[in-house]
Amino acid sequence: MNEEQFVSKNFRNFYAKSDLSVPAISQREFGVGDFGKKISRRHLSFQSDSELNTYLREQAPLFISYSLAYYEFPERSPMSSKSFLGADLIYEFDADDLKTECKQRHDSWSCPKCEGTGKGSLDNCPKCGTPVKKEQWFCPECLDATRKQSFVLLDLLENDLGLDKGISLNFSGNAGYHIHLRGDSVKDLSHEARIELLDYLTAKGLDFAKQGFYESEKTFFCPYPKQAKGWGKRLLVLLEKLLGEGDSSKIAAFGGISVKKAKELLANKEQVLAAMREKGILYSISGRKNKQFWESILSHLVSSNTLDIDRQTSADIRKIIRVPDTLHGGTGLLAKSFSREEFKEFDPLSDTVVFSDESVKVFINKSPKIYLKGNWFGPFNEEEAKLPLYAAIYLVAKRRANLVG
């Protein structure tokens, strides 16, 4: 039995018991993938859940994705002949888009040109500038960063945009989370409207004056907390937090003023906060740079609190994406769906493990320390190990380990 057959056999065992249900299944295009290839065939369609479940039981694909779009003829190709009927919205948060410190511990790179190698995550070789080959891993720390982003997004969707219906959440099966929005409020949104939503969510081109932050007659105003909405409200909260931290060098750096002036501002913290809350006025720093100072502070607060949403993906209505509650062929983990309540306590590298503890012997080429189902394994470097089936599948699916014997 080779590695692909090993993963496939175990997937088949899992799908023998699974019973999926997909909303509007007959109008979606499906795609499946093989060992090491997420999508190798597209333009598949299923008339019913039971047809899909039979397919999963018989074929046990290593990857299965479906379209966000609804089509009259999902099985037709080219795309233009499918007859587009509308589409869900999707937002993806992947840990590989985030700059977390843990990457220094678990990621590495190698340069195909000068053969340079190193720890951490970067795009181009620091010696010769060639795009590097990345070795990416995901741990509780970086996945938790994607969860935090997901919560910010949910807050924006529900509280700012009133899109609180038809949200469903799932783990991607590898690097992060997917947030699906379905239903009439989103189905007919045009491409332009989807871009506009994205701009709002990522605060692209945010106009501070429109949010209630503006200068008039040498006074810099902010919105009243009770009247503030959306980004205006969010910025007030962030401003209070920044002042509360009392870090004068941070305020100086953000606002482009001297540490001495920042200290002056913080010495009056209580009055500054009271004026914000009660009068809708931001403290005037001495000198002429008041407007510049507050706008620079606001810009920093926006850029350090905005979401890393992949713009390309979120606006692409032709995209196909992992079917929730199916297995990811690159990890063997379940792209598990969960409720908003469950999300708070969700452990993505434990709650998505579906395979047993049965011991399997593998030869591991190279792996950092990995966390799965509450246990740490490795690091491994060109060595044999006996691992529980779920960890063996994870490393084999990631193509970092081979079967022994």
Task: Pick the binder of Zn ion from 102, 156, 387, 395 (CB under 5 A).
Answer: 102
Interaction of residue 230 with Zn ion, rule CB under 5 A:
no
SS3 369: coil
Closer to Zn ion at the Cβ: 102 or 276?
102
Instruction: Work out how close the CB of 367 gets to Zn ion at its nearest, in angstroms, rounded to a whole number.
Output: 14
**Helix, strand, coil share (%) of the chain residues, nearest 5:** 40, 25, 40
Listing DSSP states for 198-221 in one string gives: HHHHTTTT--TGGGT-EEETTEEE
Cβ-contact 219, 294 below 8 angstroms: no
Nearest to 172 by CA among 66, 107, 99, 94: 94
Instruction: Work out how close the CB of 71 gets to Zn ion at its nearest, in angstroms, rounded to a whole number.
Output: 38
Instruction: Work out how close the CB of 21 gets to Zn ion at its nearest, in angstroms, rounded to a whole number.
Output: 33
> CA-CA distance, 350 to 322, in Å (whole number)?
19
Instruction: Work out how close the CB of 387 gets to Zn ion at its nearest, in angstroms, rounded to a whole number.
Output: 20
Closer to Zn ion at the Cβ: 240 or 347?
347
Nearest to 282 by CA among 235, 340, 245: 235
Cβ-contact 228, 212 below 8 angstroms: yes
1 burial (CB, 10 Å; 0-12 / 13-18 / 19+) is: exposed
Closer to Zn ion at the Cβ: 116 or 230?
116
Instruction: Work out how close the CB of 62 gets to Zn ion at its nearest, in angstroms, rounded to a whole number.
Output: 24
- The region of 105-113, 245-253, 303-311, 350-358 touching Zn ion under the rule CB under 5 A is 105-113
Interaction of residue 301 with Zn ion, rule CB under 5 A:
no
Instruction: Work out how close the CB of 352 gets to Zn ion at its nearest, in angstroms, rounded to a whole number.
Output: 16
SS3 255: helix
> CA-CA distance, 336 to 85, in Å (whole number)?
27
Site string (113-142) toward Zn ion, x via CB under 5 A: xx-x--------x-xx-x--------x-xx
Beginning with the edge strand found earlier in the chain, give each strand of the sheet holding 30-34 in spatial order: 37-44, 30-34, 63-67, 320-322
Interaction of residue 235 with Zn ion, rule CB under 5 A:
no
Interaction of residue 158 with Zn ion, rule CB under 5 A:
no
Task: Pick the binder of Zn ion from 7, 111, 156, 272 (CB under 5 A).
Answer: 111
Closer to Zn ion at the Cβ: 142 or 360?
142
- Footprint on this chain of Zn ion (rule: CB under 5 A): 102, 111, 113-114, 116, 125, 127-128, 130, 139, 141-142
